[in-house]
Amino acid sequence: MRPRLNALLGGTLMLLVLSTATLSALWTPHNPLRIAMRSRLQPPSALHWLGTDEMGRDVLSRLMAGAGTSCLVAALTVLGAVVLGSGIGLLAGFARGMVDRLLMLVNDALLAFPGILLALGLLAVIGPGQWGIVAALGLAYTPTVARIVRGAVLSLREREFVEASFSIGNSAAYTLWRHVLPGTVSPLTVLATSLFGWAILAESALSFLGLGVPPPAPSWGNMLAAARPYLESATWLSLAPGACIALTLLGVNLLGDALRDHFDPRSRPQ
Amino acid sequence: MSLALDHAAAPVAASTAPLLAVEGLRVGTGSFHAVEDVSFCVAAGEILALVGESGSGKTATGRAILGLLPPGLERLAGAIRLQGEDLAHVTPARLRALRGGSIGMVFQEPMVSLNPAMTIGAQLGEALALHSDLDAATRRAACIAMLRRVRISDPESCLAAYPHEFSGGMRQRIMLAAVMLPKPRLLIADEPTTALDNLAQAEVLDLMVELARDSGTAVLLVTHNLGLVARYADRALVMQRGRVVEEGPARRLLAAPREAYTRQLVAAMPRRTARPERPTREILLEARGLVVDYPGRVRLLRRLPGKRAVKGVDIVLRRGETVALVGGSGSGKTTLGRALLRLVEPTGGQLLFQGQDVTAGRGAAVRDFRLACQIIFQDPYSSLDPRQRIGEIVAEPLRHEPGLDAASRAARVAETFAAVGLPGLDRRFPHQLSGGQRQRVAIARAIVRRPALVVADEPVSALDMTVQAQILALIRQLQEERGFACLFISHDLGAVVEVADRVLVMQDGMIVEQGSRDAVFDTPHHPYTRALLDATPRLDA
């Protein structure tokens, strides 16, 4: 019963976020970019359900518009990191020897930097902006994924069913695709969901430094960053994007667990 | 063997109160009972065997005595008395004092039951430090004396060594030393040698009986192997599905079992039956001077010396015959089996399949050879991809079979499932099957392409006795029907005696003896063969 509930709750949350993001492209209560200095920092009211920010912009509208940006950035980041990282991890874990050592040498050197610092450096090269963030964060998270996948592959490739696959004449590529890669799905889904959370937070940190989604376009990260000076006087400003991030992370995590269980036949009833 | 005899001859103190009395024990959770109404006694100095197959509740019974049940199981009813003291109602502190002090326990897996991060000395001293007031120097001396007793050479340096530096058999001997140091009154040994080959098994158990007799310790030997019961136990208790089926003196129980289940267990013991005379047929696979080297590990800038696992072996396998390859762990038999199929690349020598050289390359002859030779692995839990349905697993080898459309492929898979006795189960996942059923799937995968040769690498050593007998019968029957040759790799001469036409004995990377089954079993020439035969648990021992 519990797993079903997880999937249901996670699915609902994610559906809510995604539909809001889609909706915001067509309609928001107010124009998220319209500045009205006379009505700045208003508490929630019937007109502005979640109040207005330091430039008088409607917070609800900006949240809706930001949902798309934040989730897109995070999802693309995770996708990039997972694809690239699994490729490297599979190659290193399966080939072993010299290939593994070279790949992991570079990988470990990159892992030694905090992800955000690496992204900062990369952003300086790529240039700031939404795509810059995706590329920089994606590359910054790749070494973590590569490490995890390599570990999983190293243990999977010693299992006898991999040897069995060779013994019936399958090629290395087929064996890798059919028998090894599926085994990495469980650790990968867990990792990907937490990466999704980190990516949203990192995006907000980079936006805070002025390297992320450039103002005035809203993202949850830059809204949270902009709300910081008003934490005491206008609490709703930081609460709203904070709650959105938290709920999205909860949704992603629950959904990730449900997906992992779904992909693992052993968790199905006997 | 003589030890067990002497022991059985010694008068058992039946008149005095038993050392351990278990009455009406029930273990389980809710409505599920793993152990139901089990009662037995262990007299001081007696060796009692608790016999049963997986799921019989024998391990849960052994663990309940120490209060070490796994999560999810608890003692629901019954009394456990050690010299009159009810272990079910003592304080946790008292129970801890008894554990390791009055009751010792040896676990199944020597690889995991010793802490890899602690030196042998630290682990040996642990129980003594807890349960005695000896000073450090006396404890050290006692440890060294005990290690010498379990025949560890150079005990002083052993104290400073870590578990990974020892083989499985040595580790289990060290474990035994650790448990026997405080001279417990009862030793619970739960499948202590299942993970070991026969030679190491005999060594460990001979020592266990010897140490137990010296310090007057009673032993509760939990095992599935009737051969061990015959060899070491005074009395035996047969369990099935949580209940005691039969109890009695080991000798009587094995010679004249009263209950149907016991008879079934005894019947499952391998026995030698006449093999049909076969004309000598043409050579299928031949290895000439086969050598396999494992490269050493690379440490910084230099490569550590590697290991030569197979040292120039000549083998001839003929069509339709069953050849057993026997040896202890580390003898190179598994590597040789893999190298014959080129799952491990040979470093030297020649491999001929139907007269064609298939030692290297990927030519047409090599491809035919690959497709015609299949392998069955030891561990049916590891050799099946947990994410594939068993129908997919068995169909997979047919990917490389030319000229088979989907319908005839499905027909072939269904026919193979029927042949191994698993009709209609192809939608299941491996985890939904029992160990025996999984091994049947592995066999189906090996024979679905109608191979000329099947290498079976310890195909039954991970299975229960009755299941072992069934799988051996299945292999034999399939071989009769389909006429493939089989290289049967095993450390257990007992399993070999049932199926083999010829026997090859391997030691240290070389074939030291070979001949027909009866010649090797009746008149072994090499001392290693004789040692293997002596170490094989048999009912008539």
What pLDDT digit, counting tens, does each position of B280-311 carry?
788 999 999 999 988 776 666 677 777 888 88
Position B95 scores a pLDDT of: 85
- What CATH code is carried by the domain that includes residue A78? 1.10.3720.10
**Coil, strand or helix at B77:** strand
Query: What integer is the mean pLDDT of B364-368?
Result: 81
Helices B2-9 & B198-214 angle (0-180, nearest 10): 30
Q: Which two tokens stand for residue A79?
A: 């996708």
Quick one: pLDDT band at residue B165, thresholds 50, 70, 90?
Answer: confident
Residue A67, pLDDT above cutoff 60: yes
Residues in A touching B429 (Cβ below 8 Å): 265-266, 268
Q: Which residue of B has its CA nearest to A184?
A: B387
Using a pLDDT cut of 70, give the percent of chain A over it.
Answer: 97
Q: If we measure between CA atoms, which residue out of B358, B344, B182 comes closest to residue B285?
A: B358
Mark yes or no for CB contact B449/A270 under 8 Å: no
Q: Is residue A107 part of a domain?
A: yes
Residue B540, pLDDT above cutoff 70: no
Residue B182, pLDDT above cutoff 50: yes
Query: What integer is the mean pLDDT of A18-47?
Result: 81
Position B247 scores a pLDDT of: 92
Position B110 scores a pLDDT of: 64
Q: Is residue A182 part of a domain?
A: yes
- C-beta separation of B240 from B52 below 8 A: yes
Position A22 scores a pLDDT of: 86
Residues in A touching B367 (Cβ below 8 Å): 169
Residues on chain A bordering chain B, Cβ-to-Cβ distance under 8 angstroms: 159-161, 163-170, 179, 182-183, 263-266, 268, 270
Mark yes or no for CB contact B387/A182 under 8 Å: yes
Residue B501, pLDDT above cutoff 60: yes
- Give first-to-last CA distance, chain A, whole Å: 15
CA dihedral B116, B66, B43, B264 (to 10 degrees): -80
Position B300 scores a pLDDT of: 64
Residue A213, pLDDT above cutoff 90: no
Alpha-carbon gap, residue B57 to B239, rounded angstroms: 7
B88 or B235, which is more confident?
B235
pTM for the structure as a whole: 0.79
Position B13 scores a pLDDT of: 44
Mark yes or no for CB contact A170/B386 under 8 Å: no
Q: Is residue A40 part of a domain?
A: no
Task: Specify the DSSP element, H or E, that contains B204.
Answer: helix B198-214
Domain ranges of chain B: 109-182, 283-382+453-534
Alpha-carbon gap, residue B80 to B67, rounded angstroms: 10
Residue type, A112: A
* CATH number of the domain located at residue range(s) B283-382+453-534 in this protein: 3.40.50.300
Mark yes or no for CB contact A165/B396 under 8 Å: yes
> B41 forms bridges with which residues in the sheet?
B21
Q: Is residue A226 part of a domain?
A: yes
Q: Is residue A34 part of a domain?
A: no
Residue A114, pLDDT above cutoff 90: no
Q: Is residue A44 part of a domain?
A: no
Q: Is residue A55 part of a domain?
A: yes
State pLDDT tens for residues B119-152: 888 888 887 888 778 888 888 888 898 888 888 8
Q: Which of A69-78, A113-122, A175-184, B315-324 has the lowest mean pLDDT?
A: A113-122
B317 or A229, which is more confident?
B317
Q: Which letter does DSSP use for residue A58 in this model? A: B
Q: Mutation test of the interface with chain A: which of B340, B374, B387, B431, choosing the one with the most A Cβ atoms within 10 A?
A: B387
Query: What integer is the mean pLDDT of B487-512?
Result: 89
B296 or B373, which is more confident?
B373
Q: Which of A38-42, B115-119, B442-446, B491-495 has the lowest mean pLDDT?
A: A38-42
Q: What ipTM was predicted for this assembly?
A: 0.72
Range of the structural domain that residue A93 is part of: 2-25+49-267
State pLDDT tens for residues A167-192: 888 888 899 998 999 889 888 888 88
Phi and psi of B315, rounded to 5°?
Answer: -135, 145
Quick one: pLDDT band at residue A268, thresholds 50, 70, 90?
Answer: low
- C-beta separation of B489 from B327 below 8 A: no
Whole-number average pLDDT of chain B: 86
Residue B76, pLDDT above cutoff 80: yes
Q: How many domains does chain A have?
A: 1
Q: Looking at CA atoms only, how far is residue A269 from chain B in angstroms?
A: 9
Count of beta carbons in the 10 Å neighbourhood of residue B328: 22
State pLDDT tens for residues B378-392: 888 888 998 899 999
Q: Is residue A262 part of a domain?
A: yes
Q: Mutation test of the interface with chain B: which of A155, A163, A168, choosing the one with the most B Cβ atoms within 10 A?
A: A168
Count of beta carbons in the 10 Å neighbourhood of residue B93: 8
Q: How many CB pairs under 8 A join A and B?
A: 60
Mark yes or no for CB contact A169/B396 under 8 Å: no
State pLDDT tens for residues B429-455: 888 888 889 999 999 999 999 999 999
Position B394 scores a pLDDT of: 93
Alpha-carbon gap, residue B430 to B381, rounded angstroms: 8
Query: What integer is the mean pLDDT of B520-533?
Result: 91
